Structure 1
Amino acid sequence: MLALFGFLTVGIFLALTLFTRTSVLVGLVLVPIIFAVLAGRGGDLGEFIGDGLLQVAPIAVMMTFAILFFAVMMEAGLFDPLIRRIVGWAKGDPVKIAIGTALVTMCVHLDGDGAATFLITLSAFLPVYRRIGMRPLALTAIVALGAGLMNMLPWGGPTLRAMAALDLTASEVFVPMVVPMIAGGLWVLVASYIIGRMERKRLGTITLDAAAPAVAPAPVAPVAPVSVGSAGDGTDADWTPADASPADEAHADDDHARRDHGVPRWRMAVNVVLTLALVAVLFTHTVPMEVCFIVAFTVAACVNIPKWRDQQQLFRDHGANVVLVTSMVFAAGVFTGVLGNTGMIENMARTLADVIPESFGGVLPVLVAVVSMPLSLVFTPDAFYFGVMPVFAHTAEVMGVDPAMIARGAISGQMTTGFPLSPLTASTFILIGMAKVELGKHQRFTFLWAWGTTLVITVTAVLTGALTF
């Protein structure tokens, strides 16, 4: 019965969000609470919810100060030279911008952290997309594809969990998947090219002055997912560029001209060093992310806005964005806390394993790989890698199949290519929040592209022997 309630909880929540029948926050909180009460666990909801909130609290803290840190950097014009170079290279060509987005995303995600990747890449590219007139939906899709692929790295969360759950090494799980991962990377570039072609067909190639400032005056900071079009089919037909008005463009140029000349060189140098140091520390994972961003923001505030009055203005300008995004994170904590502590997820895992016939043991690794990406929408990484995957691995071992192949199949999509679409990961809300794209539209537009990455990885893994029938 708990498994049924669990599947109903996830299914109804996904249906409500996919078809935008309610806000994500309401769905994350009320749907699991209702089914927990129906399951007779209403008396324990306080403990369950509290546990879930404690689990996501560090993420909420990190997001709060990360938003503020990058808001300071954006207002200081740190990313303006990079953006101008990208626009200058692309010459207004959406195809080049799309491919550049994918390449930068894959490079930034070398540290394996989705939240930092989304904060950095969207801060840099969203003004470019606005300037060109490209849809934010195209940006979230391309960034999701690049980050999802790179989440397969052995220091990424999914691969680490897969190795820990089955007591395997990186040479057993990840090394055989290097060639399939490279093939997946090529697919990401092809997909980005196709999406860029779609945007080029819609917009044409726009002639831009590479020397002109290429970003809008408003700093970019994540906000809650809101509607960006009324077409309802994921095409954002009614979306218009933020800089569509010539008067706004002139204001942007004037604003950035003043800003470029108004920031002392020493301050810009400190900002560059501080940002590079932050990224370096994030790569080493020696200090918790929330601590990194608290310290980095404090230093950035002292350097760029030392007066308390100016700092208060920063909080006023971005406080609403912080609250809207972190509220989503805490709501996700309620969702996972209730599902995990009621036993729903555990029973869902057992049920899922039971429906697979023993005769399927030989093809189980490929089957796991094919369904791994869609399962990111249903299971948290802990639930899948520590609950579902060991059952699959044991079943395969009984049938004479190497359990390591189950792990390889799992990392082909479960919270790798699928994590930027999953409502169970807080970083997804950073991605869609910064671009002001609804979760349902993002999922509908990106799902097949992301699943395509998994299928390319799976086929290549079969051809190279990393997965066998």
Structure 2
Amino acid sequence: MLSILGFAMIATFLLLVLTKRLSVVVAFVFVAVAFALIGGFSAEMGQMMMDGIIKVTPTAVMIVFAILYFGLMIDVGLFDPLIAKILGFVKGDPLKLVLATAIITMLVGLDGDGSSTFMITISALLPLYKRLGMNRLILACVVSLAAGVMNIIPWGGPLVRAAASLHVEVYDLFIPLIPVMIVGLLWTLLVAYILGKKERARLGVIQPEAFMALTEQAATAEVQRGTSKLFWFNLILTLVLMTMLVMEVLPIQILFAVAFAIALFVNFPNPQKQQDMILSHANNFVMICTLVFAAGIFTGIFSGTGMMDAMAGTLVSIIPDWLGSHMAVIVALTSLPLGFVFSPDAYYFGILPILAETAANFGIDPVEIGRAALLGHSTAGYPLSPLVPATFILIGLVGVDFGDHQKFLFKWAYGTTICMTIAAVLFGVITL
């Protein structure tokens, strides 16, 4: 019964959001309350919702200070020189810009944190997409694909979860996946080329006169801001912040809070201007944090009622014996769609051990199941999932509708999983 209720809850939410019958926030709350009442959990649902909110609160705090920090840096022109450099490479060509988007995201994605990858790349590239009149869904898509593949790195989160839940070495999971990751990144570049070529056909390459008008704006800003002492201070502060994030010196929330306070004080010494700066970006973080807290309510009900555990048992029980020897490929190909249903922690600590135990009965090493899971869940597909807060950071910064983003990205993201699965089989990383 709980399993059926859980599947119905997820299906109802996705239907309401994808058909735009309700906004994401309203759907999260209404669906959670409705199914808690249907399941007979009226007495406990308040506590379940609070538990869910508490779990996402650190993420919401990080979002507030991160958006304020990067918003401040955009306001004071920190990224203008980078924009000018990219414009110099792009030369008014949408195809080159989309390819540059993929490469830049891959490099920034080395920090292993999806949220900061989105914030840095979108902050730098969104102005270019706007100036060239390009489709912002393409920006969200290409950044998602590149960041998703890069999230397989050991310090990215999913791989650590898989290693811990299966009690295997990180080394045994990651090293064999390196050539598979390369295939995923090549696929990302191919997608960027396809989408960029379509945009070039739609918009054309901006002529030299118009292109000069665009680059002149960035060049002027670079002269005005790039030579100032505050520019170099802001650049050094940002580099130190990124370094400390990678080194995990302090919790990410604290690092962003401290860095923002320093940047705000130095760039806007006047208290009134400090307040004005915060208010100018309030709409951005209020909307995203509202989504995050609403998602917390939804997942609090989803996990607290036991629906999640019941669904896990059902998924395992429906696998027929004749498919048992192909468990690794099945896990790989289902890992991305299951991202719509299970959060990273729920999948890697709840579902994956059950799948690995089932596969062991068919003579499949648990490490193969771990590698297979990493080909989709919380990697190639995590910017699609409504259960991953970073998704809302992405769509909030780009300014696109969640349902439109999902529909645009899904086929390309699932294509990533398919390509990496084929490569994993060919390279002997998982068995067919």
TM-score, scaled to structure 2: 0.97
Give the root-mean-square deviation of aligned CA atoms: 1.6
Unaligned segments of structure 2, at least 5 residues: none
Aligned to 1:119: 119
Aligned to 2:25: 25
* In 1: Cα distance, 2:425 partner to 2:73 partner: 45
Structure 1 residues 7 and 206: CA distance shift in structure 2, 3 A: same
1:425 aligns with 2:367: no
Structure 1 residues 323 and 256: CA distance shift in structure 2, 3 A: farther
Aligned to 2:171: 171
Q: CA deviation at 1:358?
A: 2.4
Q: What is the CA deviation profile of residues 428-467 of structure 1, one whole-angstrom value per residue up to 9, with x for unaligned ones?
A: 1111111111111111111011111111110010001001
Give the letter aligned to residue 268 of structure 1: F
1:467 aligns with 2:430: yes
Aligned to 1:206: 206
Look up the SS of the partner of 1:155 in the other structure. Answer: helix
Q: CA deviation at 1:259?
A: 8.1
Q: Which has the higher helix share?
A: 2
1:436 aligns with 2:399: yes
Aligned to 2:40: 40
Aligned to 2:189: 189
Give the letter aligned to residue 17 of structure 2: T
**Equivalent of residue 238 in structure 2, options 271, 275, 278:** 275
Give the letter aligned to residue 61 of structure 1: V
Aligned to 2:158: 158
* In 2: Cα distance, 1:298 partner to 1:263 partner: 22
CA contact (8 A) 1:422 1:428 kept: yes
**Equivalent of residue 261 in structure 2, options 290, 298, 302:** 298
Aligned to 1:369: 332
Q: CA deviation at 1:411?
A: 0.3
* In 2: Cα distance, 1:208 partner to 1:133 partner: 16
Q: What is the CA deviation profile of residues 108-131 of structure 1, one whole-angstrom value per residue up to 9, with x for unaligned ones?
A: 111221111111110000000011
* In 1: Cα distance, 2:399 partner to 2:47 partner: 33
Aligned to 2:352: 389
Q: CA deviation at 1:263?
A: 7.3
Aligned to 2:343: 380
Aligned to 1:73: 73
* In 2: Cα distance, 1:436 partner to 1:119 partner: 13
* In 1: Cα distance, 2:234 partner to 2:221 partner: 18
Unaligned segments of structure 1, at least 5 residues: 215-251
* In 2: Cα distance, 1:114 partner to 1:298 partner: 23
Aligned to 1:139: 139
CA contact (8 A) 2:81 2:226 kept: no
Q: What is the CA deviation profile of residues 367-419 of structure 1, one whole-angstrom value per residue up to 9, with x for unaligned ones?
A: 11011111111111111111111111111111111111111110000111111
CA contact (8 A) 1:88 1:211 kept: no
Give the letter aligned to residue 275 of structure 1: T
CA contact (8 A) 2:57 2:293 kept: yes
* In 2: Cα distance, 1:269 partner to 1:90 partner: 25
CA contact (8 A) 1:84 1:211 kept: no
Moved more, 46-55 or 262-271: 262-271
* In 1: Cα distance, 2:177 partner to 2:222 partner: 47
Give the letter aligned to residue 354 of structure 2: V
* In 2: Cα distance, 1:122 partner to 1:262 partner: 20
TM-score, scaled to structure 1: 0.89
